[in-house]
Copies of this chain bind each other. A is one copy, B any other.
Amino acid sequence: MLRRIDKVLLEQENNLLKNDLDADYAALGEKLARSDVDIELLTQAAGKFQIAVPSWGTGTGGTRFARFPGEGEPRNIWEKLEDCAVINELSGCTDSVSPHFPWDKVSDFSELKEKADAYGIKWVSVNSNTFQDQTGQTASYKYGSLSNTQKASRELAIAHNLDCIEYGQKLGAKSLTVWVGDGSNHPGQQHFQRAFERYLASMEEIYKGLPDDWEMHIEHKMFEPAFYSTIIQDWGSNILAAMQLGPKCKSLVDLGHHAPNTNIEMIVSRLIQFKKLGGFHFNDSKYGDDDLDSGSLHPYQQFLIFNELVDAEYRQQEAFGPAYMLDQSHNVTDPAESLINSAIEVQRSYVKALIVDREKLYGYQDENDALMASLELKNAFNLDVSPILAMARLRKGAAIDPLAVYRKSNYRENMAKERPRDPNATGSGIV
């Protein structure tokens, strides 16, 4: 497999930490064994856990006020792929990339696929972009795309989504994620019902173009870029659309797209129950769609979401198999570092959720023993599973301490030399 981080450096660094890791792992294993939890099963599960990286997340993000790009940023999908390979080599849990079109469009997709294959990277979850006008575009998305009152804009948006499916097929992807910014800034600007009817009619056209083994995922979002109403404003509109469109259409949850105080884990449960959970965009947030690093503000909420996911696995819930993906904007950090760390934080939530004794929990729930039920979750969360995550990485040839290796490799400094800044670089600063 093609590598971008020097293997010798990686192994040197791992060797420095291995003894301590073994000690911590043994101590944790003993502790877990007292509760009849086999640490090896957790480490295996951790090793299998994978979360996709968004191609556009590899560049420095920004806000409407400004973007402060860093040195050595990737300027196109080829370079983004390089960074994604680095992230996976070090984290061991990000073996796929989600592309965004037209930003990531290339003339020869087979070449792109080959390059990714060489790195051991798969392509997943194709994203369409109908929230920006591209140069020379024949109709505008200023007043909406799939729900625009103008047929020309709707048709353009439909065609673009069908193109995305085609590109995705060439790359081996199996799903299309549709997020539109359609909405309004003024009461009265849009007729809510008619706009939704137009959206559904457009989506039906796209659904028809979906290959048999593909899924289509609808992403809801409360606001931004529209600031009064948004067409798929919440999971309610999302699931109703998904139900109307058919079994290959499901709902996707971005953690930052909800109203303040929303109980997101409950929405996840509802989507699971109604067989419509398609996937996730992981990130963290405090105010709106802040797109901060996963688990950096609300690690317990992220754990509670995985509690629902692991519970559905445990119950062998029908039609359950969501896609996991990061979707973040890295405005003040090196995007590669944030993506490595975020992927591991999501993996951490997953492993902690596996520790919960589900039968015990069900017992407390049945008896309405609220405190013991809550402690069954909280005790799992309070455990430090870092040794499990590190061991899983070590066994996969990744880094015990990924950030330390990354910094020692001088990857970004090297890229700064190789990649002079390009004003035509695409797709950074937007998430």
Q: Closest chain B residue to A331 by CB distance?
A: B185
Of the residues B260, B274, B337, B348, contact of A371 by C-beta under 8 Å = B337
Chain B CB within 10 A, most for which of A27, A263, A298, A377:
A263
* A370 and B64 contacting across the interface, CB-CB below 8 Å: no
Tell yes or no: A104 within 8 A of B by CB: no
Q: How far is the CA of A353 from the CA of B259 in the complex (A)?
A: 28
Q: How far is the CB of A332 from chain B (nearest CB, A)?
A: 5
**Given A66-B131, A68-B140, residue A296 in contact with residue B187 (CB < 8 A):** yes
* A228 and B66 contacting across the interface, CB-CB below 8 Å: no
Tell yes or no: A44 within 8 A of B by CB: no
**Given A63-B225, A273-B193, residue A186 in contact with residue B234 (CB < 8 A):** no
Hey, which chain B residues are within 8 Å of A333, CB to CB? 185-186, 370-371
Tell yes or no: A99 within 8 A of B by CB: no
**Identical chains in the assembly:** 4
Stretch of A78-86, A109-117, A283-291 on the interface side: A283-291
* A237 and B270 contacting across the interface, CB-CB below 8 Å: yes
Tell yes or no: A189 within 8 A of B by CB: yes
Stretch of A4-12, A87-95, A120-128, A379-387 on the interface side: A379-387
* B341 and A375 contacting across the interface, CB-CB below 8 Å: yes
Tell yes or no: A39 within 8 A of B by CB: no
**Given A236-B234, A240-B274, A261-B259, residue A285 in contact with residue B227 (CB < 8 A):** yes
Q: Which residues 268-296 of A have a CB within 8 angstroms of B?
A: 269-270, 272-274, 285-288, 290-293, 296
Hey, which chain B residues are within 8 Å of A338, CB to CB? 371
* B236 and A65 contacting across the interface, CB-CB below 8 Å: no
Chain B CB within 10 A, most for which of A24, A197, A371:
A371
* A132 and B222 contacting across the interface, CB-CB below 8 Å: no
20 further A-B pairs in the complex, CB-CB below 8 A; given A62-B64, A188-B365: A27-B31, A65-B181, A68-B142, A149-B366, A186-B292, A188-B374, A189-B365, A189-B373, A191-B365, A192-B265, A192-B308, A194-B365, A223-B286, A223-B290, A228-B297, A234-B234, A237-B270, A287-B288, A298-B298, A372-B403
List 12 A–B pairs whose Cβ atoms lie within 8 Å, in order of A's numbering: A27-B31, A63-B225, A66-B131, A142-B332, A186-B292, A186-B371, A188-B307, A191-B365, A193-B269, A196-B273, A223-B287, A298-B298
A-side interface residues toward B, CB under 8 Å?
20, 23-24, 27, 30-31, 34, 62-66, 68, 131-133, 140-143, 149-150, 181, 184-194, 196-197, 222-225, 227-229, 233-237, 239-240, 258-263, 265-267, 269-270, 272-274, 285-288, 290-293, 296-300, 304, 307-308, 311, 331-334, 337-338, 341, 348, 361-362, 364-368, 370-378, 381-384, 386, 403, 429-430
